């Protein structure tokens, strides 16, 4: 038998080219290849070679990036074919880290051909060791896979956190975080949540990059808010102002304010960190104080502004129209901030 000989009795037509060229020992047995023949095929100078423990490359020469990725998933115990698990299904092995970001189309990460190792995310209970081109990443919770080029890949926020865990250079971390936001892959809060869960926010170079990320995320959210008001014909508000009682205390800053209707918009750009409970308490205290004065506060998240701007414009327009049916709000002083 040579490497072009069919592995019948089970046909291979249902497999992709990469799946035909990378198979596990169990799959080869299913296709009629006994252990003795497998061993013979993998002798020095033979047509096949062992790529990883229990995983075989069915041709001579170096593997392609696609073959290495399929081999990594096979090593982690994921079937080489079949649909991705449904949401809520049993967690499986996923490509994560830099390899996942490369598959998601990131320009700030090395191409797959430039990676010596691929990170594979598996449940914490799995007894599996890193070996060869596979670095095993364990997690108590494995997210639902996203399908990219037919492969199960971790969502961007989780892949970013797993990549950052392996990056020691501050510039590399900053570039990855910035592209995740500027490229529209995900919101800063989702990334910070994953970094916090991975206990990476204690690293100085990560903290500095996160501060820049949050500033970037807020700027992007403000741009979307401006665009929402313009594109959907809302009346012009005053932007980025502080509200104060006449001769009294500071009430807090808001991102947009319509004085005649006493409607304020505030962007919820909080990021989950250690002091989230304290931040949320201050956040709600300000909102409650403004609403007691008769000011309607509309909270918009960056994600909703990005995914459903028309719906958010309707929420703001409804609040503006409802002002005619409310008691007049208390007079407040509006100052630029």
Q: Tens of pLDDT along 127-186?
A: 899 999 999 999 988 999 999 998 999 999 999 999 999 999 999 999 999 999 888 898
Domain shared by 119 and 199, yes or no: yes
Q: How far apart are CA 254 and CA 269, in angstroms?
A: 12
Average of per-residue pLDDT across 318-337: 92
Domain shared by 131 and 185, yes or no: yes
Domain shared by 172 and 234, yes or no: no
Assess if residue 205 is contained within a domain: yes
- Give the side-chain half-sphere CA count within 13 A for 92: 25
Domain shared by 195 and 324, yes or no: no
pLDDT of 3 higher than 60: no
Domain shared by 243 and 143, yes or no: no
Assess if residue 26 is contained within a domain: no
Assess if residue 236 is contained within a domain: yes
> Can you name the residues that pair with 265 across neighbouring β-strands?
256, 298
Q: How far apart are CA 205 and CA 168, in angstroms?
A: 8
Domain shared by 206 and 265, yes or no: no
Domain shared by 199 and 249, yes or no: no
pLDDT exceeding 90 applies to what percent of the chain?
64
Write down the number of H helices and E strands in the chain: 12, 13
Read off the pTM.
0.76
Which is it for strands 55-57 and 49-52: parallel, antiparallel or unpaired? antiparallel
What CATH number has the domain bearing residue 279?
A: 3.40.960
Last residue of a domain, one of 167, 183, 216: 216
Task: For residue 264, name the pLDDT band (cuts at 50, 70, 90).
Answer: very high
* CB-based contact 117:97 (threshold 8 Å): no
- Which of 215-219, 231-235, 270-274 holds the top average pLDDT? 231-235
Q: What's the gap between Cα 34 and its chain centre?
A: 42
Report the pLDDT value the prediction gives residue 274, as an integer from 0 to 100: 47
Domain shared by 180 and 267, yes or no: no
Domain range for residue 305? 227-336
What is the C-alpha radius of gyration for the chain, rounded to an integer number of angstroms?
A: 27
Last residue of a domain, one of 216, 237, 263: 216
Average of per-residue pLDDT across 75-98: 67
Domain shared by 115 and 243, yes or no: no
| The total number of structural domains that make up the chain | 2
Q: Tens of pLDDT along 272-319?
A: 654 555 556 777 888 889 999 999 999 998 889 988 999 999 999 999
Token pair of 61 as six digits: 């020469």
Domain shared by 150 and 90, yes or no: yes
């Amino acid at each position: 038998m040579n490497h072009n000989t069919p592995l019948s009795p089970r046909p291979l037509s249902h497999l992709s080219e990469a799946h035909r060229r990378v198979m596990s020992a169990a799959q080869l047995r299913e296709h009629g290849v006994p252990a003795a023949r497998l061993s013979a095929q993998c002798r020095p100078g033979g047509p096949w070679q062992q790529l990883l423990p229990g995983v075989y490359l069915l041709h001579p020469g170096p593997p392609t990036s696609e073959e290495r990725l399929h081999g990594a998933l096979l090593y982690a115990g994921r079937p080489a074919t079949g649909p991705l698990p449904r949401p809520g299904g049993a967690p499986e092995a996923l490509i994560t880290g830099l390899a996942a970001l490369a598959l998601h189309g990131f320009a700030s990460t090395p191409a797959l051909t430039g990676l010596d190792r691929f990170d594979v995310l598996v449940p914490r209970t799995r007894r599996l060791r890193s070996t060869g081109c596979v670095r095993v990443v364990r997690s108590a919770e494995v997210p639902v896979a996203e399908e990219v080029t037919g492969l199960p890949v971790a969502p961007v926020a989780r892949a970013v956190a797993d990549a950052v865990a392996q990056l020691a250079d501050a510039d590399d971390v900053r570039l990855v975080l910035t592209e995740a936001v500027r490229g529209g892959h995900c919101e800063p809060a989702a990334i910070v949540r994953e970094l916090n869960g991975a206990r990476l926010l204690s690293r100085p170079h990560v903290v500095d990059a996160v501060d820049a990320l949050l500033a970037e995320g807020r700027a992007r959210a403000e741009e979307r808010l401006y665009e929402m008001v313009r594109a959907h014909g809302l009346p012009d508000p005053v932007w980025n102002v502080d509200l104060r009682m006449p001769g009294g205390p500071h009430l807090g800053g808001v991102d947009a304010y319509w004085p005649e209707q006493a409607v304020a918009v505030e962007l919820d750009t909080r990021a989950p960190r250690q002091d989230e409970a304290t931040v949320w308490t201050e956040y709600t205290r300000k909102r409650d104080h403004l609403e007691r004065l008769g000011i309607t506060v509309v909270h918009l998240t960056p994600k909703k502004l990005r995914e459903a701007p028309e719906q958010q414009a309707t929420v703001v327009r409804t609040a503006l129209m409802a002002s005619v049916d409310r008691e007049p709000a208390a007079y407040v002083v509006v100052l630029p901030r």
